[in-house]
Chain A
């Protein structure tokens, strides 16, 4: 019984971890908490949905053992790219001009407004009702004693690990990755050494938006697509980013797994209704033990 909760926690934790990467990167590089991060998940899922119905590919038969057809895999990269572009565009019209005129708290309030505006724009364009990529039913397969998972949910974990491995290579093996890590650690010092600050910011938004879109599409496939799907995850994302240490992409992913496990294991203790509060309790506990975050020292 507990093993099933652990397995569910790993699946939802992998999604939280992917979503939290953008939060931790933009937090470290730009110095503010982006309350609109959850909407990148939402928009990623809806971009994929719009592409599927726009191209008429939404009715393709499912690929056993999965409950979705090949078109979803086809539109996934496009949704990732579009959401990355949305994040860069949002930075361009809102956050970049505000950086010069308002303090970091002005940016936080603006992101709060952007979050509500983006979520409601989805309601406006797609309506408030939940949507689904496919109507196919996913069957759970026994994978270990007492653990049953659908093929879709196993794919979630596999794709999340793959994306993390790719991001790890990018951050550790490329010049851009070096510049990003340097900027996350000390933006002023990195700028002194000639790191292209604007390029690093743009890359943070691309990566953060793209990873969130991947999480959003996978969440949409395994649960449902609805306008508040990202906003409902925001606290979990914050908890993961702070738990993993602001600025650390790998930390955010591990933090996401911890938060996912805590949420899943809270269900037998507190009941499913209070599941979202588990992320808050993790966040609260971490901040009470380390008021600057687990690895954070920056003021």
Chain B
């Protein structure tokens, strides 16, 4: 019983932390830069297929099948996802937020279409299988994924505490003011978008590698929604929250799924999955209505030399340049 539970917990945590890495990437894009990426599933898919092409053994009729070590696949996934983000980011990031959401949503739909139809590359509707496991033992894989999540978390925390992170938030809050101070909003947005996409691609690769199988139906818009729910539950703008949200939402998602599987007769299983999505849709609406900042709200801090202003929202981050003085806001 305990061994059974431990093995399930390992399985669950590995997948939850993979989503957590995607959620960290989305938090950099949305929480810190205000980029509404509604195409998470597209970057996730690119990462998953990249590692499938690089690490799966050669199969007749399919391209790729490099049989390379898993870490080459993961690296390739992050690089390819970042490269795609760089290519599409340059034109689309100048769009206003809601148009960016629509275009990235369309991007993800198109990626899914390619996954479904470019059979020689992706295996079509059957997907690609036989991805090698990173390690023979599941706990070792979990340790590796947890290490990567920790690395991403610490790295992003350090990055956003740097002047670069402050400039990002400045762009998010008031682009004109940031530009007037000599920051380049377009470049900052692109950097954040590309780095976030690399993390989302890595997450897709980890998940695919761990399951050993990639198929187009894994990358429907509901995946984008799942990662967004994790971020909203955890609290946008906070990396600790993003990871915590990923674990909590994964637990709720698979917990409710398992409960429905156990309770419903087989004929009702498809409808059971529908109940789950309806419940999660309603749940997220209630959360947005009653706790819009998530479990862990964004920490409002201008500089580590300053105490956080009491009860302030993200819009109050003005003044303070690290010397312990608050400069009154001039004008406006």
Contacts and interface: CB of A to CB of B under 8 A. Distances in A.
B321 interface: no
A35 B95 CA distance: 18
Interface stretch (A8-16, A56-64, A204-212, A270-278): A270-278
B98 A32 contact: yes
B23 interface: no
A12 B198 CA distance: 38
A121 B91 CA distance: 37
B106 A105 contact: no
Contacts of B36: 105, 108
A112 B117 CA distance: 26
A299 B102 contact: no
B326 to A, nearest CB: 26
A273 B117 contact: yes
Contacts of A97: 289
Given A120-B274, A273-B113, A33 B284 contact: no
Given A97-B289, A98-B288, A283 B98 contact: no
Given A238-B102, A284-B106, A292-B96, A102 B288 contact: yes
Given A101-B289, A235-B105, A288-B91, A113 B98 contact: no
Contacts of A112: 38, 221, 224-225, 228
B319 interface: no
A280 B107 contact: yes
Given A101-B289, A106-B292, A235-B109, A128 B102 contact: no
A90 to B, nearest CB: 10
B285 interface: yes
Interface in B96-133: 96-99, 101-103, 105-107, 109-110, 113, 116-117
Interface in A223-277: 231, 234-235, 238, 242, 271, 273-274, 276-277
Nearest to B109: A235
A120 B281 contact: yes
A281 B103 CA distance: 10
B143 to A, nearest CB: 34
Given A33-B102, A283-B106, A287-B95, A116 B228 contact: no
A114 B38 CA distance: 15
Contacts of B232: 109
A74 interface: no
Interface in A62-81: none
Contacts of B98: 32-33, 104-105, 108
Contact of B94 (A127, A291, A293): A291
B106 A121 contact: no
B109 A110 contact: no
B113 A276 contact: yes
B270 interface: yes
Contacts of B229: 113
B277 interface: yes
B226 to A, nearest CB: 10
Nearest to B272: A124
Interface in B65-116: 91-92, 94-99, 101-103, 105-107, 109-110, 113, 116
B103 A287 contact: yes
B222 interface: yes
A33 B106 CA distance: 14
A280 B110 contact: yes
A114 B270 contact: no
A165 interface: no
A116 B225 contact: yes
Contacts of B224: 112
A143 interface: no
Contacts of A117: 277-278, 280-282, 285
A167 to B, nearest CB: 24
A242 B101 CA distance: 13
Nearest to B116: A273
A94 interface: yes
A123 interface: yes
A279 interface: yes
A255 to B, nearest CB: 14
A115 B278 CA distance: 9
Interface in B273-325: 273-275, 277-278, 280-282, 284-285, 288-289, 292
A108 B232 CA distance: 13
A120 B277 contact: yes
A124 B116 CA distance: 26
23 contacts: A33-B102, A97-B289, A98-B288, A101-B289, A104-B98, A106-B292, A108-B98, A109-B288, A112-B221, A112-B228, A113-B284, A114-B285, A116-B221, A116-B277, A120-B275, A124-B271, A124-B274, A127-B271, A271-B117, A276-B109, A276-B113, A280-B107, A280-B109
Across the A-B interface, the 10 shortest Cβ-Cβ residue pairs: A117-B281, A120-B274, A280-B106, A123-B274, A113-B281, A120-B277, A273-B117, A33-B98, A124-B274, A113-B284
Interface of B: 36, 38, 91-92, 94-99, 101-103, 105-107, 109-110, 113, 116-117, 221-222, 224-225, 228-229, 232, 270-271, 273-275, 277-278, 280-282, 284-285, 288-289, 292
Given A33-B102, A128-B270, 13 more contacts: A35-B105, A97-B289, A105-B36, A109-B232, A112-B38, A112-B221, A117-B277, A117-B280, A121-B278, A123-B270, A127-B271, A273-B116, A280-B106
